[in-house]
Structure 1
Amino acid sequence: MITTITLNPAIDRTIVVDECTLGKVHRIKSSREDIGGKGINVAKVINLLKGDTTAIGFLGYENKNKIEAFLHQEKIQADFIHIHDRTRVNTKVVDLKHRTTTEFNESGFRIHKDHIEQIKQKVVDYAKSSDYMIFSGSMPEGCPMGLYKELIALVKGDTRVVLDADGALLREGVKASPFLIKPNIHELQNTFGIKVESIRDIVKGALDIVTTFRIQWVLVSMGKDGSILVSRNKILLAKPIKVDVKSSVGAGDSMLGGFIYSYSREEDPMKALKDGTVCGTLAVTKEGTQLFNLEQVKAMQSKVIINDVSQHYLHD
């Protein structure tokens, strides 16, 4: 089983306009609401691919019915700790003219010491039956910056841990040596101070992280330049696929969901990166965090190009 942990879930409202101009009145072309939060987005993709997954974390009690109804509709197993507050609403404004997405994210509810103890116990319980545990996203107010590190340290046995966060959360979390981290190039630069002017810079920085923190894989999403998967002895480069981009919201989560689902089945990094690339690419063709379907996944498989560049970067 793959367990996803979302400490700060959200209801994502996506608004599409022709052009977004500061200080102007805009006419909305379309809008939609999706249930989000990075871990929930990952669980949605794994579930769509017919993987065995459960989403855990915190959930605001005041508007829990909307999120729980969605999870039930999509047949996603969930086991959230309820907080006596409301789950945040994040607003994404998609500018069609400039092909940009501007995000306005609420902070979310505040949690307390007893909530932290509850999530620690839940992580311990689910680790016993999980092959992978994926910790994703921001944290609500009241969480210490080192909480991911503490939670990862609680995962024992053969369960592999994945961390997708940024800033101090990632900087502290890697100290617990997760199996895989998934920064984008901006997070790589801002969190670790790594220069990202070229692929070689990214590879060097990722290899330093692998060695320093004893991490097996660093999966770096590079936007229009594709993605790269780095380990101590293998480097794979996925070329970007040209599509009509509607929104970048949730693309990294979809990529991670596709990657981990595939890796959990065959432990083939080449195939996992291929499947992750397909899911991440399809995500940007949708508005908000709405899902693609299995037929679209199968149809795009042939368009993915993965190059093993290990010889080029590891032995120069």
Structure 2
Amino acid sequence: MASTPLSILDLATVEADGSIADAFAHSVEIARLAERSGYSRIWYAEHHNMPSIASSATAVLIAHIAARTETIGLGAGGVMLPNHSPLVIAEQFGTLAELHPGRIHLGLGRAPGTDGATFRALRRTHQAAESFPSDVVELQRYLSDELPRNAVNAYPGRGTRVPLTILGSSMFGASLAAQLGLPYSFASHFAPQHLTSAVQHYRAHYVPSEAHPEPYVSAGINVVAAETDDQAEALFVRTEVERVRNFLSRGRERELTADEASALLDTPAGTEIRGMLKYTAVGGPERVRAELETFARFADVDELVTLHPAPTRAEQLTSIQLTAPAAPAV
């Protein structure tokens, strides 16, 4: 049986003692490694007002990475469409598609990707999420060859047919993707609760479209790979501590130490945060590959979106490289 295609979600993470420029340089390093190693594409997610994540301007970051790579697919995973005008997104990603034909992908989410105060600073309202389905259709029209009904075109954009994917962690996204005949990606790397029911619903209710006659599902999974199983298990423990430390340090005058975070692992808050890592492949290369294939069959997906949350840059790159043999050659 052929291995399930693998892609990567890169959050352009900023280290505690590093800079945003360092994060972007690391993203280039990840992309070049992924391109050499056979990953199919890399996704960049829109987040705002999060000092540890530098991928807020997804289109700009994709342009930067695309200019420094040659073949790997690059996409927004995703653009939070309620934050934007569909016309502006069509122009941005139409520009990218013209500059880098065949390499650009556009995932669309309904959540704001931030807190309420920042959402207001984006000059959006909570009602904007209610128009998400019609905004997706409007965006599709701007990227198609269809003549405009209201004399508005996206230049660049029109005719590029940038491939769209609906992102989600609930039944809403699954239903919309099925209705529109679009690929669907489930955020099981941090929201595992409704994975199987959402995928089942999507496949059962899928309406074939011209671009996508068959359903196509991807799902997120965390990967902690090391040279040996024992090393990977030890690395996963540190990864859990770092995740709890990051989350529970928010809003504090100082960040928690690793020892303080370790003491909170089994508290209700710590347990909930660790639960976000429910779907994580941990091990040496052989075990990771087996766990990825087991997860792909369990989730009934066509592609796996891997997130490598190891605490250090070097450990993250090692995890990406060791996981790569499970991916098909480009």
Q: Quick check: TM above 0.5?
A: no
Structure with a larger share of its residues in helix: 2
Structure with a larger share of its residues in strand: 1
TM-score class normalised by the smaller sequence: 0.3 to 0.5
With normalisation by structure 1, the TM-score equals 0.38
